[in-house]
Chain A
Amino acid sequence: DAKTTQPTSMDCAEGRAANLPCNHSTISGNEYVYWYRQIHSQGPQYIIHGLKNNETNEMASLIITEDRKSSTLILPHATLRDTAVYYCIVRVWGAGANSKLTFGKGITLSVRP
């Protein structure tokens, strides 16, 4: 029942921007887009989330299209430590069963030297 579609893998050069795409064409008006990542042998780590406006924090930027059917996570200057599986998740804002975090298969980002 995955609500998002991501490529299986991608790579980028160290120091360059990594642009990770995500399709969520069936997103509802009350669903947010979240990104988490999981570095090998560690628990997932929250990156960023947004509803419709672009968001930026110290880790990344999130660009959401105007129709909200897709988004892109941007790591502006990728480092080797950014090599991880990145999960794009859509979920309802609020409490209750519908708001639980459901992880798909994610995209494996490999940053090469």
Chain B
Amino acid sequence: GAGVSQSPSNKVTEKGKDVELRCDPISGHTALYWYRQRLGQGLEFLIYFQGNSAPDKSGLPSDRFSAERTGESVSTLTIQRTQQEDSAVYLCASSLDPGMNTEAFFGQGTRLTVV
């Protein structure tokens, strides 16, 4: 498929465990976003990768959250010592141009449940 791919689609983890979420953007897309969406809520910005520039990490809620992206390829979002409030759908989006001025394509998300 040519869309944004996220894995796993669902993840259930025990409180205190670390989790890693993966996003494969559309090939050639230089910009990549991570968002969090709690049940019944809107999208909460987490982090933004823009080409080779330093990422905008201003949305990460705590130091338990981190994300990496190698070049213009896959990105991973890591949550350490998960808490129940981390339960949400984590969405990834990518865009062809660095400023995401044109269409941003979203993946289907990873549904994280912390028990």
**Which residues does chain B contribute within 8 Å of A95, judged by CB atoms?**
50-51, 53, 97-99
- Bound Cα distance A93, B4 (Å): 23
Min CB distance, A85 to chain B, in Å? 8
Whether A97 lies near B91 (C-beta < 8 A) is no
Stretch at the interface among A21-29, A63-71, A103-111: A103-111
Whether B45 lies near A101 (C-beta < 8 A) is yes
- Bound Cα distance A43, B111 (Å): 12
- Bound Cα distance A45, B4 (Å): 12
Whether A100 lies near B48 (C-beta < 8 A) is yes
Whether A99 lies near B107 (C-beta < 8 A) is no
A interface, by DSSP: helix, strand, loop or mixed? loop
Instruction: Tell me whether B58 is interfacial, beta carbon within 8 Å.
Output: yes
- Bound Cα distance A57, B4 (Å): 23
- Bound Cα distance A58, B62 (Å): 41
**Which residues does chain B contribute within 8 Å of A99, judged by CB atoms?**
99-101
- Bound Cα distance A44, B3 (Å): 13
Contact with A along B36-69 (1 / 0, CB 8 A): 0000001101001011010010100000000000
Q: Which residues of B contact A (CB under 8 A)?
A: 4, 33, 35, 42-43, 45, 48, 50-51, 53, 56, 58, 91, 93, 97-101, 103-109
Q: Which residues of A contact B (CB under 8 A)?
A: 32, 36, 38, 42-46, 87, 93-97, 99-106
A-B contact pairs, 21 of them (CB 8 A): A38-B43, A42-B108, A43-B4, A43-B93, A43-B107, A43-B108, A43-B109, A44-B91, A44-B106, A45-B106, A46-B105, A93-B101, A94-B99, A95-B50, A95-B97, A95-B98, A96-B50, A99-B100, A103-B43, A104-B42, A106-B42
